[in-house]
Copies of this chain bind each other. A is one copy, B any other.
Amino acid sequence: MSKQAEFAVILKMNPMFADLGSDELQRIAGLCHTQQMAAGEVLFQKGDPGDALFGVRRGQIRIETGASDGSRLTLNFMGPGDLFGEVAVLDGQSRSADAAAGEATELFVLRREDFLAFLEREPKVAIKIIMLLCQRIRWQSERMEESMLQPLPVRLARRLCALAADFGSEVHISQEQLGVFVGAARESVNRQLQLWRKDGILDLQRGRILLNNLNKLTAVARNE
């Protein structure tokens, strides 16, 4: 499969581009470049202008932020097939976190100027993008308000399910970071995980969580 076709597939998997026609996706994918990164190499830092969208072809990118106490917290891992910077490529605002390669990585790069020029030539696609952004706004305002009001177990279960979708049943994350994700204290996270461990839903190791029963977890996530 050509690079271009491969990138089109990745775009298609992202909700932001999923509703575009495959013809349009192919043309967008045709604008892309690729970029190699060594392990540890920095892709961008907080404050850099958001001048591109990236898709991971192979390897891993860590999205992290320098916490106020100087320590670093990983906000997200992007693996093969994952896309990030969709909003930045459109509005060019500065990055809100740092990104660095966790291992040797190859990226698809769609530069902002190329994409904007394309949109200007193709107003119909621009209008589709507008509709997709609107959907996202609606989705956000529905979910967000609801989501933060959910009790901790629900928020935690949702986050774990999301992580499982990316990394399978063995999630490599500290309870501290999990706490940051769901907006809760580490201790509260730990206590809830203990309860689930006693139910056999998961197992705990240092820096790792093993999801044994994703079904029960999704049931909690649905808040039944």
Q: Which A residues are within 8 Å of any B CB, using their own CB?
A: 87, 90-93, 96, 116, 119-124, 126-127, 129-131, 133-138, 140-141, 144-145, 148-149, 183
Contact = CB atoms under 8 A, between A and B. Distances in A.
16 contacts: A87-B137, A93-B134, A119-B130, A120-B123, A121-B123, A123-B126, A126-B127, A129-B130, A130-B130, A130-B133, A137-B137, A140-B140, A141-B144, A144-B145, A148-B148, A148-B149
A144 B140 CA distance: 9
A137 B133 contact: yes
Give the interface SS of chain A, mostly helix, strand, loop or mixed: helix
Contacts of A119: 123, 126-127, 130
B126 A130 contact: yes
Nearest to A133: B133
Contacts of A116: 127
Nearest to A123: B123
The 10 residue pairs across chains A and B that have the minimum distance between CB atoms: A91-B134, A148-B148, A144-B144, A123-B123, A133-B133, A126-B126, A91-B131, A120-B123, A90-B134, A87-B134
Contacts of A145: 144, 148, 183
A90 B148 contact: no
Given A144-B141, A145-B144, A148-B149, A91 B130 contact: yes
A90 B92 CA distance: 21
A120 B92 CA distance: 22
Counting chain B CB atoms within 10 Å of each CB, which of A123, A129, A145, A149 scores highest? A123
Counting chain B CB atoms within 10 Å of each CB, which of A127, A134, A138, A183 scores highest? A134
A34 to B, nearest CB: 25
A148 B92 CA distance: 27
Contacts of A149: 148, 183
A127 B120 contact: yes
B183 A138 contact: no
A81 B87 CA distance: 30
A93 B138 contact: yes
Contacts of A136: 137
Contacts of A91: 130-131, 134-135, 138
